[in-house]
């Protein structure tokens, strides 16, 4: 073959222009994170109503709030590994189906034990969605816009959070019996995932995964909406060497990156989810003991919409220019500074204006930084044969950190005050910044360059892309 006339399949993906197909993936993948955010941030409101109806103690309420995160810890790791073994497409949609069924079952729970069980099952689906959706978008992305595209998938979380707060506020002020409100809130969590079940099952397999497996690519690439304008003719292909889990975690390069992505995401989620799900405690200290759930929801909706939502989209827009790792290094300490100031300034949690500014500041730099970048970086640092594994381990440990934050934040607040809990969260932000130093900069680089697998994939499969057939190119 005249290789001068050909273009490597992977290079074609790395340089492909943005298309409607990319937008479709953003929506299809992003609706999982819409569901994730809706459910995880509305559960604080639902559990307050449940606790009142069923006379629950703080331990039972804490389990309701945190059990989904524990399930997500397991789901991310398990599904992440399975997706590397059998392919992304084979399990894409399964995790969404689990979220639909578990959300409806949670809404119909007759007692607290079954509710906790269904919340755990829901978490399995939420966790499984992280590595598969992130990596599918990452592997279809071009080199130049990858941070933006993967970031926009994650930014659907912003919309899910806003809708969650708005739905909770609307239902609580509608006059519906509070004993029914929490069931409606939980049942509505099934809607976003149900919307994308069909499209997820129809999503083509990742071309990078097919290339790694040495599989026929002509028909598979044809499923993509005119991803390349030329004629695609696969030539000799063979699978590249694939890493076992043991080889993956004992490879020094990948292990250091894993400590960086999983560790920084763990400490972020501890601080972020602990504060966010327990936000009613913080808001109550500002609005006073007589504040209602409705007032707390309205307060959080306003702060999140003004401070957090722009952070998500600005991060997606600018991270490819700033640098994915660099943005995380910048934003971690700024988020931590906001936590620290809330914790150490006397009386700040009893005065609305300064608390609102600092709380909003922490929200903005959480989204314009580690909440988005931890998700993106974990989908970039690992080779194709271990990419969902690496992301799954990172996301799973992050959700375990979130579980600890949600469960222990109220207890730390009771023992050391809200200020003490926030000072601890500030320390976690500093640790997250230090762990980020273990992660390579990924912006503007191909996935194969980042993971140093480009030479393996180049040998695995070659394609010829030509507007017209060439007589001097030997038939494959």
Q: HSE (CB half, 13 Å, CA atoms) of 326?
A: 11
Which of 89-93, 175-179, 371-375: highest mean pLDDT? 371-375
In a domain, 287, yes or no: yes
Count: domains in the chain: 1
- Any domain includes 414: yes
Asked whether residue 129 is assigned to any structural domain, the reply reads yes
**What is the rounded distance in angstroms from the CA atom of residue 235 to the CA atom of residue 308?**
48
CB-based burial, 214-246: b 16+ in 10 Å, e otherwise: ebebeebbeebeebbeeebbbeebeebebbeee
Q: For the segment 347-406, what is each residue's pLDDT rounded down to a tens digit?
A: 776 777 888 888 889 889 999 999 999 999 999 999 999 999 999 999 999 999 988 887
pLDDT at site 1? 32
Give pTM, 2 decimals.
0.86
Residues 189-246 have pLDDT tens digits of: 999 889 888 888 888 888 888 877 765 455 555 554 444 443 444 433 444 567 889 9
In a domain, 78, yes or no: yes
Is 197 among the domain residues? yes
> Is the confidence at residue 276, as pLDDT, over 70?
no
At residue 82 the predicted structure's pLDDT band, cuts being 50, 70 and 90, is very high
Residue 49 confidence (pLDDT) above 50: yes
Whether 36 maps to a domain, the answer reads: yes
Q: Could you give the CA distance from residue 239 to residue 87 in angstroms, rounded to a whole number? A: 14
More confident residue, 364 or 298: 364
389 closest CA partner among 261, 199, 220: 261
On average, the pLDDT of the chain sits at 83
Domain extent, residue 362, equals 3-466
Residue 98 lies in a domain: yes
Least confident range of 56-70, 76-90, 217-231, 353-367:
217-231
pLDDT for 59: 84
Tens digit of each residue's pLDDT (9 = 90 or more) over 314-349: 999 999 999 999 999 999 999 999 989 988 888 776
Considering 81-90, 299-308, 320-329, the range whose residues carry the highest mean pLDDT is: 320-329
Query: What's the CATH code of the domain at 411?
Result: 1.20.1250.20
Q: Residue 2 above 70 pLDDT?
A: no
Q: What is the mean pLDDT of residues 164-178?
A: 89
Domain-located, residue 476: no
- Measured CA to CA, the distance from residue 246 to residue 242 in angstroms comes to 11
Has residue 471 got a pLDDT over 60? no
């Amino acid at each position: 073959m005249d290789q001068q006339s050909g273009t490597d399949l992977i290079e074609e993906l790395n340089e492909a222009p943005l298309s409607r197909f990319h937008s479709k993936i953003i929506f299809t993948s992003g609706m999982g994170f819409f569901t994730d955010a809706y459910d995880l941030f509305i559960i604080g409101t639902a559990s307050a109503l449940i606790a009142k109806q069923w006379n629950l103690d703080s331990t039972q309420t804490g389990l309701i709030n945190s059990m989904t995160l524990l399930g997500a810890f397991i789901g991310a790791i398990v599904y992440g590994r399975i997706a590397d073994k059998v392919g992304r497409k084979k399990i894409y949609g399964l995790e969404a189906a689990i979220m639909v069924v578990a959300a409806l079952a949670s809404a119909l729970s007759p007692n607290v034990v079954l509710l906790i069980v269904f919340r755990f099952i829901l978490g399995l689906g939420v966790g499984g969605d992280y590595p598969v959706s992130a990596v599918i978008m990452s592997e279809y992305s071009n080199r130049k816009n990858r941070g933006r595209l993967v970031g926009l998938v994650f930014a659907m979380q912003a919309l899910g959070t806003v809708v969650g707060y708005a739905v909770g506020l609307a239902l609580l002020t509608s006059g519906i019996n509070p004993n029914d409100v929490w069931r409606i809130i939980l049942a509505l969590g099934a809607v976003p995932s149900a919307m994308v079940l069909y499209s997820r099952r129809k999503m083509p397999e990742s071309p990078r995964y097919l290339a790694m497996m040495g599989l026929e690519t002509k028909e598979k690439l044809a499923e993509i909406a005119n991803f390349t304008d030329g004629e695609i003719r696969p030539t000799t292909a063979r699978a590249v060497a694939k890493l076992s889990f043991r080889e993956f975690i004992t490879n020094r390069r990948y292990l250091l990156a894993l400590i960086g992505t999983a560790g920084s995401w763990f400490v972020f989620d501890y601080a972020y989810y602990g504060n966010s799900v327990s936000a009613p405690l913080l808001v109550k200290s500002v609005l006073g003991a007589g504040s209602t759930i409705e007032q707390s929801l309205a307060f959080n909706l306003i702060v999140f919409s003004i401070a957090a939502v722009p952070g998500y989209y600005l991060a997606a827009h600018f991270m490819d220019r700033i640098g994915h790792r660099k943005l995380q290094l910048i934003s971690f300490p700024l988020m931590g500074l906001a936590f620290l100031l809330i914790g150490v300034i006397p009386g700040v949690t009893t005065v609305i204006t300064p608390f609102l500014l600092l709380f909003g500041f922490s929200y903005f730099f959480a989204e314009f930084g580690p909440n988005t970048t931890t998700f993106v970086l974990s989908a970039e640092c690992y080779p194709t044969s271990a990419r969902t594994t690496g992301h799954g381990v990172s996301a799973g440990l992050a959700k375990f950190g979130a579980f600890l934050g949600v469960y222990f934040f109220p207890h730390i607040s009771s023992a050391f005050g809200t200020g003490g809990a926030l000072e601890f969260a500030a320390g976690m932000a500093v640790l997250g910044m230090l762990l980020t130093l273990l992660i390579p900069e990924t912006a503007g680089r191909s996935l194969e360059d980042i993971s140093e697998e480009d030479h393996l994939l180049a040998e695995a499969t070659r394609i010829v892309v030509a507007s017209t057939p060439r007589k001097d190119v030997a038939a494959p």
